[in-house]
Structure 1
C-alpha cells in the first residue's frame, strides 16, 4: 500500500464511505455507486469514541451489511502524509491503518473546508440564505468561511473547465482593532498566544472570549459560561450579549472581506459552520455586510460580491460525494492524500 502521486482519477471503487470529522461532531454516509442515493448515518460526538476506527465501527459498520472499498474523509486540520492530527479533536487519521483495519482499496483525505468548497457549485437555492440582496452566482471564484469549533476557510477557483479547491488555514490570519469600541474591548481579550487571530474571536470559544471582554470593558460581571448561553442571552435582550453577537458578526465580516479580496471572489462568499445559521438574523441586520464592504479603496468591488449562509445540513459530505460521483469535474491534487492498496 502506498500514497499515490499526483494523477488523474476518473473513478473510485464503490461502495464509498464518507466522513466529515470536525472538532465536535463526526458525520458519516455511504454511496453504493455513482448514481445511487446517499445513505446517511447518525451524527456522533467525537468525545464519545477514543479513535476514528472505533467511531466508524460503532456508527456505520454495525448498522449496515455494506462493506466499503473506499473511504473519503474531510478532516479539521492540515493533511499530513502518514498521520493527520485533527486540530480540535484528539483523533489521529492514519490511512494505512484504516486500509488494514477495514480491508480498503482506497483512502482519500480532504481538509474539511476544502470539502465544503467542493460542495459550493452544487448547492441549490434552498441550501442558501442570502446575506444582502442576492445569492451568489453559479460561476466565478468562490470562498467559504465558517465559524464552529474553530474557524475554517477555503477557496474554489474555476479554471481549465474544472473546479479547483484551494485549502488553507485562513481562519488563523490576524484580526486587528479598528473602531474606538474595538480599542476599548481589545485589552480585555484573553489570548491563547501573543496575537489575536480570526479564530481567537470568531468561533464557539471565541464568542465566549469576546463576551467576557465586552463585559470587562463595561465593568460588568459576565453571567454566561457557554457560547449557547451567550446567543440565548442575546435573543433575550441582554445588552452585553447583544453587543457581543453584533461584534462577532462584524469581525466575521472583516475576515470574510479580506478573503474575498485575496481570492477576488466574484462567485460569492459562503458562510458555513454551526454558528452562522444560528445568528442569521444578526448577520443579515447590516453590520456584517458593512464590515465586509469597508475595504477602501475597493468598496465598490466588495459591494458587487454576494454573501450567503449555507443552511444545507451536511455540506462537507455533499462536497465529498460530488467529488466521488464525478472526480473529473474537480482539479484535485492527489499527492499526499490518496492511498491505494
Structure 2
C-alpha cells in the first residue's frame, strides 16, 4: 500500500519527470539535484494502453537510468487517486506506479500547476514580450494557456517560498463587449450550454469563432480545425484572419480580467500549444489593446507585462524545479504525494 508523504521532503534520484496531456505525453529524467534534464521523444497517449506501458516503452526502453521517484503533471483533476485524464483514456494509479517500477515516491500535480512552477526558470530566450510593462520582483505571476482546453494558474511569492495556485479559470463566462461582438454572439456554438473562456479560447474554440464569423458573413466554412484556420489566416484567408484576430482579442480581454484578479505585476504568460504558433497575431496589437482596456484601471494594466512562452516543454522545467528543491516551494501535496509502505 502507498501512504501519504510529507510535502517538502527531498526526493530520491534519479527522478522521472512526466507531463501527461490529453493528446501527448512528454518525459525526461534527472540524475541528481544538479543534473540536466535528459529528454525523451514525445509520445501520443492514444498509442499506449496506459501510462505504465508508455513509460516502459517510451522511456525505460531508451535508457539504463532507472528512476526512483516520479514527479508527474496531468491534464485533469488531481484531488483523489486513481486519477482520470479529462481528454484521454488513461488513469493514473500511484500505487500501480510505485509497485510496477519499484519507486520511492510518486508526486502528482495539475498540468498548469507545473507551468506555474516553471515561470521563475524562464528567461528572455524562452519568452516573446507582447507590449509594454515591467516585471516586479516577488509580485504575483499568471499563466494562461489555450490548447485542447484553456488552463489558468498563478504563482505567488511569500515568506521566501513560491506557491502555485491552480484553478479552473478557463470555465469563467466570456461575454460580448463591442457592437461587433454582439453581432457575432448569436452565431457562436455553446459548450455545455455556456460560452466560457474555454468555449472560445482553445483549439475547438478557434473553430467555433471561425464558424460564427462564417455564419455572420454568410459564407460556407472551408476549414475544420484550429490548425487549418491559423495556417490559412497566416496565408491571407480573410475570414480565417478575422477569426484568429478575434481569438487574440478575446484572449487578451480574458487574460486582462485574470490579471486584475491577482494584480499580476510579475507578468502574464501565455503558454499552451496554440500561442507559439500564432505569436505573430498575438504581437500585432489586438491582444495587448484588449488586455489593457480595463476602465477605470487602464493605467495599472499598462504596467503589467505580457509574454508568449516560447519554450517547447515548459511544464517539464517546472516539475524539475520542484524535484531538485522541494523546499523552495510552499505547495500542499496532501493526497498527491505517495511512497511505498515500509511494512
Question: 2:157, 2:149 → 1: CA distance?
Answer: 27
SS in structure 2 opposite 1:191?
A: coil
Residues 5-154 of structure 1 aligned to structure 2 (within 5 Å): 7-133=6-132, 136-154=135-153
Q: Deviation of residue 171 (structure 1)?
A: 0.9
- Please tell me whether the aligned partners of residues 133 and 303 of structure 2 are also in contact (alpha carbons under 8 angstroms): no
Question: 1:69, 1:178 → 2: CA distance?
Answer: 52
- Please tell me whether the aligned partners of residues 210 and 243 of structure 2 are also in contact (alpha carbons under 8 angstroms): yes
Q: Deviation of residue 80 (structure 1)?
A: 2.6
**Deviations 1:142-163 (CA, angstroms, capped at 9, x unpaired):** 0000011111010000011001
Gaps of 5+ in 2: none
**Deviations 1:305-337 (CA, angstroms, capped at 9, x unpaired):** 000011111100000001111111111112011
Q: Deviation of residue 67 (structure 1)?
A: 1.4
TM-score scaled to structure 1, two decimals?
0.97
Q: Deviation of residue 224 (structure 1)?
A: 0.6
Q: Deviation of residue 138 (structure 1)?
A: 4.6
Q: Deviation of residue 50 (structure 1)?
A: 1.8
What number of residue pairs does the alignment pair up? 340
Question: 2:104, 2:180 → 1: CA distance?
Answer: 56
Q: Deviation of residue 281 (structure 1)?
A: 1.2
Residue in 1 aligned with 2:326? 327
Residue in 1 aligned with 2:298? 299
Q: Deviation of residue 208 (structure 1)?
A: 1.0
- Please tell me whether the aligned partners of residues 134 and 304 of structure 2 are also in contact (alpha carbons under 8 angstroms): no
**Deviations 1:153-190 (CA, angstroms, capped at 9, x unpaired):** 10000011001000111111111111111112111111
Question: 1:103, 1:316 → 2: CA distance?
Answer: 25
Residue in 1 aligned with 2:181? 182
Question: 1:29, 1:138 → 2: CA distance?
Answer: 30
Question: Moved runs in structure 1, 4+ residues, more than 4 A?
Answer: none
User: Cα 1:8–1:19, aligned 2, differ >3 Å: closer, same or farther?
Assistant: closer
Q: Deviation of residue 137 (structure 1)?
A: 4.4
Q: Deviation of residue 122 (structure 1)?
A: 1.4
- Please tell me whether the aligned partners of residues 106 and 339 of structure 1 are also in contact (alpha carbons under 8 angstroms): yes
- Please tell me whether the aligned partners of residues 151 and 202 of structure 1 are also in contact (alpha carbons under 8 angstroms): yes
**Deviations 1:56-75 (CA, angstroms, capped at 9, x unpaired):** 11110111122111011011
Question: 2:216, 2:47 → 1: CA distance?
Answer: 38
RMSD (Å), alpha carbons? 1.3
Question: 2:98, 2:273 → 1: CA distance?
Answer: 31
For the pair 1:203 / 2:209, whether they are aligned, the reply is no
Residue in 2 aligned with 1:173? 172
Q: Which deviates more, 153-162 or 9-18?
A: 9-18
SS in structure 2 opposite 1:133?
A: coil
Question: 2:25, 2:7 → 1: CA distance?
Answer: 29
Residues 231-270 of structure 1 aligned to structure 2 (within 5 Å): 231-270=230-269
- Please tell me whether the aligned partners of residues 116 and 154 of structure 2 are also in contact (alpha carbons under 8 angstroms): yes
SS in structure 2 opposite 1:270?
A: strand
Q: Deviation of residue 134 (structure 1)?
A: 5.2
Residue in 2 aligned with 1:2? 2
- Please tell me whether the aligned partners of residues 153 and 166 of structure 2 are also in contact (alpha carbons under 8 angstroms): yes
User: Cα 1:136–1:22, aligned 2, differ >3 Å: closer, same or farther?
Assistant: farther
Question: 2:274, 2:263 → 1: CA distance?
Answer: 25
Gaps of 5+ in 1: none
TM-score scaled to structure 2, two decimals?
0.96
